[in-house]
Amino acid sequence: MPATTTTIREPAATSVALIERSGAASLREIGAGHILGTLAGPGVVVLRGFQTELEEFEAFTRSFCSCFHRVAARDKLRDARGDGFTAKAPERNFTLLAHSEGTYQPFKEPDLAFFYCLVPPESPGGEALAVDGRLFLERLPPSIRSRIETQGVIFEAYWEPARWQAEFGIDNPSEFAAIAKQYPQLACEFDGENMHYRCRHSAIQPDAQGQPVFSNAILAHLPAVRHDKYRDARVYTKESNRVYFGDGKALPNEVVNTLIDIQDEVACAHRLQRHDLLVLDNSRVMHGRRPMERDGPRVLLTRFGHLREESR
């Protein structure tokens, strides 16, 4: 047996399947099929004890995925040695609330997220969050659920040229018309060189197995967080970002705080070990991070990919 598999299950919280290396097994020997089969249970798999280099990490992800997602917000963190789709997670110390990658955008979101830990945090904290969107939806108050299900949400942002160019893979505003035509959920305008971005999104939709999930980018797209528990936390926010219900009304603070409370109830906070490789079903499980108690290194390689047709 190249590895042993156990499931770490906390009552009512997100579960994680742990695949631990046995002997000298390589990632290749575990096989994408076995990992995807395991992933179908909890939605998160941690492969432990597999030391690997960038080249092997990228090859491993290609055994699942035929194409990869460019994280526009982290364009400067891309690893120039690889194929251009591996980026380091930001190394500064902060809280990132749970979100599914790419779900503020009009494009089909990546199916899988891969995180490889090169340097784990030294101090307490700094855990990787995994939040099962099925459990999240079960706890969502019916009034919020029905509003999101009937209206969806709207993400708003103001982007300088480098950001919209990276988001859409274009150089000039004139190239945007063709994209807008393709994605009617977009309502973007240029103000000089800058883009006023607006995009409708469903926020609750079926995951890869057809189960409805709360899986979106709401909590990572807020202008501010006003939650007692997070008063002193360095939470990622951006002043010019907004999230609205589909009718154009901003999400009230109490709704945002309810979402944060549900996140905290169902989250698995995974304490990273060196060479842990996390695979998440991005259609179902949201990811985030907790702050470290003391500033220090925390180095993760990240990739997001679209499954090969034969793996679906």
**Closer Cβ to Fe ion, 45 or 220, answer by number:** 220
3-state SS, residue 200: strand
3-state SS, residue 32: helix
C-alpha to C-alpha distance for 177 and 184, rounded to whole angstroms: 11
Output the six-digit token pair for 44: 């998160």
Of residues 182 through 201, those in contact with Fe ion by CB under 5 A are: none
**Mask of contacts with Fe ion, 211-230, x by CB under 5 A?**
--------------------
First-to-final CA distance of the chain: 25
**Closer Cβ to Fe ion, 128 or 148, answer by number:** 128
Q: Which residue's entry shows tokens 């307490």?
A: 124
**Closer Cβ to Fe ion, 97 or 135, answer by number:** 97
Output the six-digit token pair for 278: 């996390």
Q: How far is the CB of 306 from Fe ion (least distance, A)?
A: 16
Q: How far is the CB of 143 from Fe ion (least distance, A)?
A: 28
Q: How far is the CB of 1 from Fe ion (least distance, A)?
A: 33
- The gap from C-alpha 225 to its chain's centroid, in whole angstroms, comes to 19
**Closer Cβ to Fe ion, 88 or 145, answer by number:** 88
**Closer Cβ to Fe ion, 72 or 187, answer by number:** 72
Q: How far is the CB of 101 from Fe ion (least distance, A)?
A: 5
Q: How far is the CB of 287 from Fe ion (least distance, A)?
A: 6
Q: How far is the CB of 69 from Fe ion (least distance, A)?
A: 10
Q: How many CB atoms lie within 10 A of CB 105?
A: 20
C-alpha to C-alpha distance for 84 and 54, rounded to whole angstroms: 11
Of residues 87 through 106, those in contact with Fe ion by CB under 5 A are: 101
**Closer Cβ to Fe ion, 101 or 276, answer by number:** 101
Nearest residue to Fe ion by CB is 101
Q: How far is the CB of 46 from Fe ion (least distance, A)?
A: 17
The secondary structure element, H or E, covering residue 67 is: strand 65-68
Nearest to 55 by CA among 78, 31, 82, 79: 82
- The gap from C-alpha 297 to its chain's centroid, in whole angstroms, comes to 21
Nearest to 44 by CA among 109, 104, 128: 128
C-alpha to C-alpha distance for 203 and 86, rounded to whole angstroms: 26
**Closer Cβ to Fe ion, 21 or 99, answer by number:** 99
C-alpha to C-alpha distance for 4 and 47, rounded to whole angstroms: 10
Q: How far is the CB of 100 from Fe ion (least distance, A)?
A: 8
Of residues 100 through 159, those in contact with Fe ion by CB under 5 A are: 101
**Closer Cβ to Fe ion, 106 or 110, answer by number:** 110
Q: How many CB atoms lie within 10 A of CB 216?
A: 28
Amino acid in position 19: I
How many chain residues touch Fe ion (CB under 5 A)?
Answer: 1
- In this structure, the chain runs to a length of 312
Q: For binding to Fe ion (CB under 5 A), which residues are involved?
A: 101
